[in-house]
Structure 1
Amino acid sequence: MLHPIAPDALQQRLASGEMLLIDIREPDEYAREHIIGARLIPLNAIDAEDLTVEHSRAVCFTCRSGNRTAIAAARLLAKGFPESYALEGGLDGWKKAGLPVHFNPRAPLDLMRQVQIAAGSLALAGAVLAATVSPWFILLSGFVGAGLVFAGLTGFCGMARLLKRMPWNRASLA
């Protein structure tokens, strides 16, 4: 298990240079907002990352809320740091403690939030159109629901892939 560390204690250890902070979120999430000084190593790429030169320091892993870090604790501990921590509450806990973050308002929302907005909008539009125009529009809501179930079962989200190709998302990751 990763040892929990409070945001204020982490800030002190980061300031002294004795600790490395690794953000395991996706690049689109990191581009929008992150803790100043955090190093981005997405969870899906952490196994390929050689961090042996960093083993002289303790490490703290973080994500948005702390959930991804807790779920991936065994993988993160396997990186071999003598001291491994998880930021309590993740980025949300850091902000709640009133500590500074780098925020880029021009960066797009993270991809999963875009999917939620698009899927919710399509499902709502289908329901409203079914009630006001034609009952056949309920198929739109059903199609979106089926797509979400498929994405959950397989890990493949066609809507996320489509949104990732949109101009506003390509520009932020380049």
Structure 2
Amino acid sequence: MLSHTITPETLHDLLDSDQKPAVVDLRLPLDFLVHTEIIPGAQRISPREIVANPDMLSKDQDYVLYCTCPGDDSSGIVLETALKMGFLRVKMLAGGLEAWKQKGYPVAPYDKPFRLDVQ
């Protein structure tokens, strides 16, 4: 799995380059009550949605997944599932959103409506 992990520094550099990956925030709605910010440009998709409908991702696109779980649990589960399904251009942000913020990289308020389901 280490080869499918990316550091905040590397992601920051990629987001400023022509090789910009799609960034996916995997947090559940309850997580947004505590952490209300998101990496600018990231798309929030629940892990359950991706596992249930893998066609929402393209095998030709680079993706970086992140969450706020201790030990990157959600990102790790989705990464492992994606790799088994043949999505080889997927990486997990080491340390998730907290590591990104600790480096002083930008975050934006998450202001899209969401339902508070806990699944």
Which range, TM-score by smaller chain? Answer: 0.7 to 0.9
Summarize the Cα distance change of 1:59–1:16 in structure 2 as closer, same or farther, 3 Å threshold: same
Show the counterpart of 2:27: 25
The Cα of 1:95 is off from its aligned counterpart by 0.4
Q: Distance in 1 between matches of 2:18 and 2:27?
A: 22
1:61 pairs with one of 65, 69, 82:
65
The Cα of 1:97 is off from its aligned counterpart by 0.9
Q: Distance in 1 between matches of 2:88 and 2:79?
A: 14
Question: Does 1:38 find its partner at 2:39?
Answer: no
Q: Distance in 1 between matches of 2:32 and 2:62?
A: 22
Secondary structure, counterpart of 2:55 in structure 1: coil
Q: Distance in 1 between matches of 2:77 and 2:18?
A: 27
Aligned partner of 1:16: which letter? S
Q: Which has the higher contact order (CA 8 A, sep 6+)?
A: 2
Show the counterpart of 1:149: none
Aligned partner of 2:46: which letter? P
Q: Distance in 2 between matches of 1:12 and 1:43?
A: 26
The Cα of 1:17 is off from its aligned counterpart by 4.7
Show the counterpart of 2:86: 80
Structure with higher helix content: 1
Quote the RMSD (CA, aligned, Å).
2.7
Q: Distance in 2 between matches of 1:6 and 1:96?
A: 12
Secondary structure, counterpart of 1:16 in structure 2: coil
Aligned partner of 1:96: which letter? Q
Instruction: State the identity %.
Output: 30
Aligned partner of 1:9: which letter? T
Q: Distance in 2 between matches of 1:91 and 1:41?
A: 15
Aligned partner of 1:6: which letter? T
Summarize the Cα distance change of 1:61–1:37 in structure 2 as closer, same or farther, 3 Å threshold: same
Show the counterpart of 1:15: 16
Could you list the runs of 5+ residues in structure 2 that have no partner in the other structure?
none
Q: Distance in 2 between matches of 1:27 and 1:94?
A: 20
TM-score by length of 1: 0.52
Could you list the runs of 5+ residues in structure 1 that have no partner in the other structure?
108-171
Paired residues in the alignment total 108
Q: Distance in 2 between matches of 1:79 and 1:14?
A: 26
